Structure 1
Amino acid sequence: MPELLRTLIVISVLSAATFWVIAKALPDFLTVKEFKRWVTAWFTIVITAFISHNIWLFLAITACFCFVRIAAEPKLRIIYYLVLFCAVPQYPVEIPGLLGIRYLFNIDYPRLLIIALLLGPFFKNHSNPRLFALSSDRYIVLFVCLMSYLSFRDNTFTNALRESILFFLSIIVPYYTLSRYLSDISQLNRAFIAMFIGLSPFALVGVFETLRHWHLYNALAQNLVGSEVGGGYDIRSGGLRASAIFQGPIVLGYVMVIGFGLLLYLKPLIKNQRMANMMGLTIAACLLASMARGPWVGFVSLYLAYIWTGREAVKKTAQWALVGLVLLPVLSLTSVGDKFIQLLPFIGSTRSDTVDYRSRLFENAWIVFQRHPWFGSTTFLDTPEMESMRQGEGIIDLVNTFIQIALPYGVFGLFLFLTIFLGLLFRCYFILKRIPRDEVNLIRMGRALFAILSAILTTITTMSSINYVPTFYWALVGIIAAYLNVAEKTIRLNSANR
C-alpha cells in the first residue's frame, strides 16, 4: 500500500475516533447536525490535501470550497475559519508575479482561509463597533503600522509593500473580524467549541506518532511540495517527539496547551463528563509526547492562572504545589518517572544544552539590542554575537518571541506588542471582579481566556513565533477583545436593571 494512502487512512481513523468522542460530549448550544457539517468540512479539506498531488491544486480547490460551500453569512464564516484554520500543514509558496515582479507574496493554508473566509466579513462590517471603538484596536493598528513602516528600511519598495500587506492579512483581519462578530455569549461559546474541534484530532495523532515512531504528515509534504517540511525525526530520551501537522514538537505542545485551556471552559457545559475527561487526558498525553519543555511550563502557568482566578485560590495553589513536591520523589523511583524528571527544565539533565542556548541567546541579544534600542536593526543577524549562536543546522534560532520582536523593531515595537497582550491580560483579570455573580459561564470563560493568554505569554518566551504560533495568538487576541466587549455590555445592562 502506498505510504500516502496508508497515512490518509491512519489520520482519518484517528480523527474519526476523536470526533466520535466529541460527538458523545457535545454541549447543548451545538446541535449534532451543525457539528456534522463542521466535521464534514474539516475532512473535505484534509482529504483534498491528500489527493491533490499539487499545492496549487489544493489551494484552488480549498478556495472554491470556502467560497461556494460555506454560507456567506459573516458569523458562519468566522466559525468555519476557527474549525478549519489548522486542518493541514501550512506549506507556504510564492504566488508568481507579473510585469517584472518575481512574485506577489507568499500564500499558505491559513492565509488562504483568511482571504476566503474573513476578508469578506472584514469589509462588510457596518453595524458592529467601528475601528478604534475597542481600546485594544489602537495598539494593534500602531503595532502593524510600525512594523510596516520599518519594513521599508534596507528593503525594496515592492518587498516592503508585500510585507505590509501580509501584516494586514495576518494580524488586522483576523483580530478585527473576530473581535466584532463574536458579539454575544452564544457566539463566543461557538468560537470556543469550533477552535477546540479544529485542533482536537492532533492530540491523538501526536500520541500515535510517538508510540509508532512515525511522523504521519511527512508523506503529505512529499505529495504537495515535493520535500519534507519540518525538523525531521527528533528523538529525546529514546522516544520520537510528536509534531503532527506543525513545524516542530514545541508548536504541537503550544497548541495542546491552548486546547486544554479551551476545555477548562467547555467541560462544565458537557453532560458526558467521562468523554470530557477522556479528551483532557488525550491532550495531556499529547503534550507529554511532544517532549517540549516550554509548553510544559506553559501548561503549569495555564492551570495556576485558572486556579488563581477562582475561589480559594491560595489554598488550591498550595495544594497543587504540595502534590508536585510529593510526586517528584515518588516518580524518581520508577524508570518512566525518572525519564520524565530528567526531561524537566532546570531539574533534569536531558538536553540541558537547549536551556543553556536560551540563556546565551538572551545575553547576546541584549548586547545587540543596546546598539539600536529604539527601532531595532535589519542586520541584527549579521552581528558577531548572533553569528556565535548559529547552530549545526546552519540557522540562528531565535527561541524567544520577545527577542524576535525587539531586535528588528526595537523598544517601540516590543512595547506595543507587550501592551496588546498585557493590556488584554490585566483587563481580563480585573473585569472578572465586576461581572455579576450569576453570570457563571461568562466568568468561567474569562478565567479560561486569562489562563490561556498567561500560558501563551509564558510559552512564547521559550519559542519563536513560527508556523501556527502567531495564527493562534492573533485569533485569541481577537476573541479576548470580543469577550471584554461582551462582558462590559453585560455589566452595563446589569447596572441599568438595578
Structure 2
Amino acid sequence: MSEHHRVLVVLLFIGLAVYRLVGCLQPEQLPRAQAVRRGLWFALTIAAFALGDFWMFVVLAVPLVLWGRGREQNVPALFLALLFLVPPAQFDIPGMGLVNFFFSLSWPRLLALILLLPMVPRLIRQPPRSEGTLPRLADRLFLGYLFVQVLLLGREASLTSALRSVFYLFVDVALPYFVFSRAFDTLPKLRDAVAALVVSGLLLAAVGVFEASRHWLLYAALTQAWGSADQLVYLGRSGVLRAMGSTGHAIALGYVLAICLLLYLPMHARLRGRWQPWAVLILFAAGLFSPLSRGPWLGAVAGLLLYLGLGERPVRNLLSFGVASLFVFAVLSLLPFGRFVLELVPFIGTVETGNIEYRQLLMRNAAGLIWRHPVLGSTDYVERLAAMGMVQGQGIVDIVNSYVEVTLRSGLAGLVPFAGLMATALFSALRARRLSLGAAQREAADLGRSLAAAQLAVIVTIGSVSSILVIPWMYWCLAGMLVGYARVVHAREREPRSTAGELGFA
C-alpha cells in the first residue's frame, strides 16, 4: 500500500472522530447543513487520496461540489467547510501552443470559481440595503486597494502576464471579499458560516495534533503523489515536528486555528453537553500548539484579550486571565515539558531567536527601500533585500510581514487601503455589536464580539508572516464577513420595531 493510501485510512478515522465530536455544533448551523458538508468532505478526501492525481481529482471534484452546491442553503459556508480539504498546491493549465500556460489552478481557486463566482450576478442585482458609514468606507478602501493593484500591472513583463495577474486579483481577492460581504441576508446564515469554518478548523486541529505526535506530515504524501512543485517540507523546532495539516506551512496552520478558536468561544458558552464543548476547546488549544508557530500565538492572545474586554465584566475577565496566565507560567516552570514550552514563548524563551532578529532586520532594511519609492513601491525589492544579506537558509528572501510586503510592492498607496480595510472591518463589527447590545440581541452581539477578536488576531499575525498559501484567502473572507455582519445588523436596526426580534438566532 502506497503512503498516500495509508494516509487516507488515517484521515478517515480522524474525520469520523471529529464529526462525531462536532455533532454538538449542529444547533449553530442551518438544518441538515452538516450532513451535506460531512458527506462532501469524506467523498472528496477519498477521491483526492485514492486517485493520487490532481487533474483526475479535479474532474471528479467538480461534479461533486456542484452536487453539494445544489443542496446547500448557504454556499459561502460550504466554501469555508471545504477550503482546507487538500493543500493549496498550484498546477499550471497548459496553453496548448497559444501561450506558455493559461493560469495556475489550486484547490481554493477552483472552489471560488465553482461556488463563489456564480453568486456574483445575483448579488450585483440585489436591491441596496441600509448600511452604516463604516461598511461603505470598507468597500471604498477595498476598491482603492484593487485600483492600485490594477494600476501596477503596467509593470508586468508581458500582456499575458498582466492578464493572468488580473485573473488572480479577481478570483483570489475580489471574489471572496465581495461575496462574503454581501451574501448573508440574515444573521443565522452568518452564524452558520462561522460554524462551518469552526468545524473545518477542528479537522485541521486534529490532524495537527496527530502530525506532531507521530512526526508524520499526512498531506505531504498527497503533494508528492501529485508531483507538485509545492511540496510540504518537514520543519522542526527543538526536536519536535511542526505540524501543518493541509494548509501548506506550520505558521499557516497556527494562523487558521487561532481564528477558529476565537470564533468558537461564544459557541462554547451556548453548547449543551457534559464533555463535548470542553473537548472541542481542548482540541483547538492543542492544535494551536502543534505547529509551534509563535506569531499565531501572539495573535490568539491579542484576540482573546479583546474578546474578554468586550465581555459583561471586562475588568474582572482581564484580571482573571492575568492571574491564570501567571499561574500557568509558574506551573510550567516547574515541569520538564513546561520548561520546553516556555523556551518557545517569544521574547521569553531562547529557541530560534534568530527568527525574531531576522524580522527586526527586515523592518530596518525594508524601511530604507520604502522611503526610496514611498508612493507606488518598486519591482526589484527582492533583489535589493538579497544584496543586503536578507537571504535565508532556504536560499530565498522571506518577507515575513504582510504589511511590509504590500508596501514594498505597491508603496503607501497600497498599504493605506489594505491596512485601512482591515481596521475598518474591525471597527464596523464593533459598532454593529454595540447596536446589537442596544437592541438586547445578546447572541448577535456575541457573534460580533468573536468576529472582532478573530479580526484582531489576523491583524496581529500577518505582521509576522507573508501572504502565502491560505493566509490571504482567510483574511479576505473574514474581512468580508465582518462587513457583512455590520450590514445585516444596520439593516435590521432600521426596520420597524415589530421585526426587531429577527436579530436573534433560531
Range of TM-score over shorter length: over 0.9
**Count of residues paired in the alignment:** 495
Instruction: Report the equivalent of 1:398.
Output: 399
Contact 1:298 1:459 in 2 (8 A): yes
Share of identical aligned residues, percent? Answer: 29
1:44 and 1:386 map into 2 onto residues whose CA distance is 49
Select between 116-125 and 382-391 the one with higher mean Cα deviation.
382-391
Amino acid at match of 1:151: L
* TM-score under structure 1 length normalisation: 0.94
Q: Secondary structure at the match of 1:94?
A: strand
1:2 and 1:168 map into 2 onto residues whose CA distance is 38
Q: 1:265: Cα distance to partner?
A: 2.8
Q: Secondary structure at the match of 2:92?
A: strand
Contact 2:202 2:283 in 1 (8 A): no
In structure 2, relative to structure 1, the CA distance for the partners of 1:349 and 1:357 (3 Å cut) is same
Amino acid at match of 2:140: R
Select between 21-30 and 44-53 the one with higher mean Cα deviation.
21-30
Select between 141-150 and 459-468 the one with higher mean Cα deviation.
141-150
Alignment map for 1:41-80 (pairs within 5 Å): 41-71=40-70, 75-80=73-78
2:376 and 2:341 map into 1 onto residues whose CA distance is 42
Amino acid at match of 1:445: L
1:101 and 1:471 map into 2 onto residues whose CA distance is 28
Is there any run of 5+ residues in structure 2 with no aligned partner, and where?
501-506
Q: 1:340: Cα distance to partner?
A: 0.6
Q: After superposition, what is the alpha-carbon deviation per residue over 1:406-463, rounded to whole angstroms, capped at 9, x for unaligned? A: 0010001000101111011122223322323520111000100110000001111111
Amino acid at match of 1:171: V
Alignment map for 1:16-95 (pairs within 5 Å): 16-27=16-27, 29-31=29-31, 33-71=32-70, 75-95=73-93
2:296 and 2:417 map into 1 onto residues whose CA distance is 24
Q: Secondary structure at the match of 1:95?
A: strand
2:28 and 2:352 map into 1 onto residues whose CA distance is 46
Q: 1:266: Cα distance to partner?
A: 2.0
Q: 1:50: Cα distance to partner?
A: 0.7
Q: After superposition, what is the alpha-carbon deviation per residue over 1:111-169, rounded to whole angstroms, capped at 9, x for unaligned? A: 00100111111123222538999512222122112112202215212111210111111
Alignment map for 1:417-432 (pairs within 5 Å): 417-432=418-433
Alignment map for 1:196-235 (pairs within 5 Å): 196-225=198-227, 229-230=231-232, 232-235=233-236
Contact 1:456 1:473 in 2 (8 A): yes
In structure 2, relative to structure 1, the CA distance for the partners of 1:165 and 1:72 (3 Å cut) is farther
- Give the root-mean-square deviation of aligned CA atoms: 2.1
Q: Which runs of 4+ in 1 moved over 3 A?
A: 28-31, 128-134, 384-387, 494-498
1:329 and 1:132 map into 2 onto residues whose CA distance is 49
Select between 296-305 and 262-271 the one with higher mean Cα deviation.
262-271
Select between 408-417 and 171-180 the one with higher mean Cα deviation.
171-180
Instruction: Report the equivalent of 1:465.
Output: 467
2:387 and 2:146 map into 1 onto residues whose CA distance is 26
In structure 2, relative to structure 1, the CA distance for the partners of 1:365 and 1:227 (3 Å cut) is closer
Q: After superposition, what is the alpha-carbon deviation per residue over 1:160-211, rounded to whole angstroms, capped at 9, x for unaligned? A: 1210111111111121122222111111121111112222211111101111
Q: 1:377: Cα distance to partner?
A: 0.4
Contact 1:42 1:198 in 2 (8 A): no
1:67 and 1:128 map into 2 onto residues whose CA distance is 27
* TM-score under structure 2 length normalisation: 0.93
Instruction: Report the equivalent of 1:193.
Output: 195
Contact 1:309 1:429 in 2 (8 A): no
Is there any run of 5+ residues in structure 1 with no aligned partner, and where?
none
Alignment map for 1:81-480 (pairs within 5 Å): 81-98=79-96, 100-125=98-123, 126-129=125-128, 134-135=135-136, 136-225=138-227, 229-230=231-232, 232-272=233-273, 274-383=275-384, 387-435=388-436, 436-480=438-482
Amino acid at match of 2:66: F
Contact 2:252 2:471 in 1 (8 A): yes
Q: After superposition, what is the alpha-carbon deviation per residue over 1:245-293, rounded to whole angstroms, capped at 9, x for unaligned? A: 1221111111111110121132233222521111110010011111100
2:274 and 2:299 map into 1 onto residues whose CA distance is 25
Q: Secondary structure at the match of 2:469?
A: coil
In structure 2, relative to structure 1, the CA distance for the partners of 1:20 and 1:175 (3 Å cut) is same
